[in-house]
Every structure is written in C-alpha cells, then in structure tokens.
Amino acid sequence: MQKHDTPGTNRSGSTLNPSLIQTQLAFAESVAATPVQGSENIKTVRMQYIAHADVVGSPAPLLNQDSALGKALSERGLEAQIFADKLGQRLAFERSGVRLYEALMDKVLATEFAGKPELTADIGHICQEETEHFLMLKNIMEYLGADPTAITPAANVSGVAAQGFLQVITDPRTTLPQCLEAMLSLELTDSTCWEHLIEAADKADMDAVTENFRQAAETEKEHVQIIEKWLKAVTYV
C-alpha cells in the first residue's frame, strides 16, 4: 500500500483554526521585517542585487583552438558560443539523470512495486539510455575540441535545478507516484532541451553531430511516455 496519512494529523491549514490566525498575525507584526514590509521594497532590493551580480560562470576554454568548435567560435561567434554552452548543459543534465534513475530504482525496490518486473525493466532501460546519452555527448565534445569536464554556465544552472529533483527522489518519505511525477517534469524538460540543442547546433553549422542529437531527442520522447504510463499505473494502487 502507498503511504497515506490520516487527515487529522495535517494541521497546516489555518481556516479551521481562526483563533490561531490572529496569534500568527500578532507575531508577524511584532517582528520587524528585513527589508521593510512591502513588495516594492523587496523588488528594489532584488533589482539592486541583480544590477551588481556577476554572471553564473563563464565560457569554458577549448582543448584545441584549431578544432571544429574553435573554428565555429571564430566564424559564428555568439551562435557557436550558445551551442557550446548548451552542449555542456546537456552533458550535465544527462549525468544527473543517470543518478536520479539509480535513486528511483532504489525507491522502487524498497516498495511493494519491487515485484513488478516490467517497471524495474523500464527504469533500468531509461537509466541505460541516459548513460549512453552522457557518453555520446562526452565523445562529441572531445571530437569538437571542447572539454567535457568543464562546467559551462548553463550546466551550472542545470545542476542547481536538478538538486530539487534529487531531494524528492531520495527523500525516504516520498511515495513512488510522487517520485514519478517529479521525474515526469524532469523528462519533459529534458525532451525540450534536446530540441533546443538541435536548434543551436543548426545555427552553429554543426551538421556533423546533429543527427546524434535527433536520435537522442526521439529517445527522450519515449522516456516521457514511459514515465507517464507508470505514473498513471501506480497512483491509485
């Protein structure tokens, strides 16, 4: 059985406890807010931070300036730089994906769904394909003259975003449906970002590697369908 708590133990709502609302309001008014209360003050502080903030990372140096990517950077400029950034992002995302599916498999094996061989087979299949995508991207980066160990700005942001998914999957309290819903969000993002990488490759004239990306994009669409299928299958069990 999935873990469903009894309604009486959830005391997060305030509507059923009107007297406590006044207590909460009184406490909030007794503590000075920093910055001073008001969305405009918060907006001002945010804009000040944004105006003086550094960027997230910087373009990674190439392993070989005479490589295909090096020539593209000199000829295509910004378009090639965006491609290199997104290439690093996909590498980081697929690496995170492997770890997430490994953690998801552990979740499955710890629940009553461990007895469903079709489910474990599908999770293992997706994990293997994520690994293959990671290795494919690593090889392409080396082929183009990029450093697969470097963290590009987009890869940095992608890694931060993936932390939320990892927290959901590895939390012992989360159920399998909750984890699959998180993975569905991840796969939808992954599928869209592969399309963005294909577009960036086209703009940077990287025709030699685009077909690899198209094949991966088709595989990711299948991942979305598989995760959505199992999410529906286990939610009402």
The CA distance from 75 to 119, in Å, is 48
CA atoms within 13 A on the CB side of 45: 9
Residue 44 neighbours by CB distance under 10 Å:
12
Q: Helix axis angle, 78-109 relative to 153-170, nearest 10°?
A: 10
Query: What is residue 6's predicted lDDT score, i.e. its pLDDT?
Result: 67
Query: What is residue 37's predicted lDDT score, i.e. its pLDDT?
Result: 63
More confident residue, 216 or 76: 216
Query: What is residue 70's predicted lDDT score, i.e. its pLDDT?
Result: 83
The CA distance from 202 to 208, in Å, is 10
The identity of residue 26, as a single letter, is A
Burial bucket for residue 170 (CB in 10 Å: 0-12, 13-18, 19+): middle
Question: How much is the average pLDDT of 195-224?
Answer: 95
pLDDT tens-digit map of 161-209? 999 999 999 999 999 999 999 999 999 999 999 999 999 999 999 998 9
Query: What is residue 39's predicted lDDT score, i.e. its pLDDT?
Result: 66
Task: Please list, in sequence order, all residues whose beta carbon lies within 8 angstroms of the beta carbon of residue 164, skipping any fewer than 6 positions away.
Answer: none
More confident residue, 59 or 37: 59
pLDDT over 70 (residue 72): yes
Query: What is residue 1's predicted lDDT score, i.e. its pLDDT?
Result: 43
Query: What is residue 202's predicted lDDT score, i.e. its pLDDT?
Result: 94
Angle at 212 between CA 58 and CA 220, to 5 degrees: 85
Query: What is residue 74's predicted lDDT score, i.e. its pLDDT?
Result: 78
Burial bucket for residue 8 (CB in 10 Å: 0-12, 13-18, 19+): exposed
Share of the chain above pLDDT 70, in %: 94
pLDDT band at 38 (very low <50, low <70, confident <90, very high): low
The CA distance from 95 to 83, in Å, is 18
More confident residue, 202 or 74: 202
pLDDT band at 30 (very low <50, low <70, confident <90, very high): confident
Q: Which domains does the chain have, with CATH numbers?
A: 14-52 (no CATH), 68-235 (1.20.1260.10)
Identify whether the C-beta of residue 86 lies closer than 8 Å to the C-beta of residue 196. yes
Question: How much is the average pLDDT of 111-135?
Answer: 96
Burial bucket for residue 119 (CB in 10 Å: 0-12, 13-18, 19+): buried
pLDDT tens-digit map of 155-171? 999 999 999 999 999 99
